[in-house]
Amino acid sequence: MKTNNITRMLDAKKIKYQSFELPERKISALDTAEMLQVAPELIYKSIVLLRTTPRTKPILAVIPATHQVDPSALAAFLKEKKIKPASLAEAEKLTGLQAGGISPLALINKGFQIIFSNQADQHEFIHVSGGELGLNLRLTVKDLLILTNARTGSISTPLEEE
């Protein structure tokens, strides 16, 4: 079983979780659901967004694989004028993590405001990245919200069918 700073922190805090190993490459949240044979609405992806005001906290939106972040709804929820998704390069630079391995658990106390999509409230457990490519963690929503000091809000919309 893979261990890293996140799994060690969870173990130290005696928080129950399950870890799953995946190929060590960037995999979409929908592909992760298929590989783990888990409903896609239980796999959550992390999206880095930026406020337009300089030197303000970046935002991490944590949303189901079946959804896309809605920047307008997120801005309204946070009472901001405007926010925009970070580029891949900006997200990796701000988080210090590779895209596909960005985890809300890796960003605890790293200056991010973390918001989970309110779909998480419908589930006892959800899956998030373990903070590196190839590691997925299943935790209770309650533990995730407490650990990350996050709130839930209506910040995403269903992906449009192709």
CATH superfamily of 5-158: YbaK/aminoacyl-tRNA synthetase-associated domain (3.90.960.10)
SS3 70: coil
96 Rama class: left (phi>0) / alpha (psi -120 to 50) / beta: left
Q: What pLDDT score does 160 carry?
A: 80
Q: What pLDDT score does 17 carry?
A: 98
pLDDT-flagged residues of the chain (< 70): 161-162
Per-residue exposure over 61-71, b if at least 16 CB sit within 10 Å of its own CB, e if not: bbbbbbbbbbb
Q: What pLDDT score does 161 carry?
A: 65
- Is the pTM above the cut of 0.85? yes
SS3 159: coil
Q: What pLDDT score does 136 carry?
A: 97
Q: What pLDDT score does 162 carry?
A: 53
Domain map of the chain by residue range? 5-158
Q: What pLDDT score does 40 carry?
A: 96
Placement of tokens 């910040």 in the chain: 155
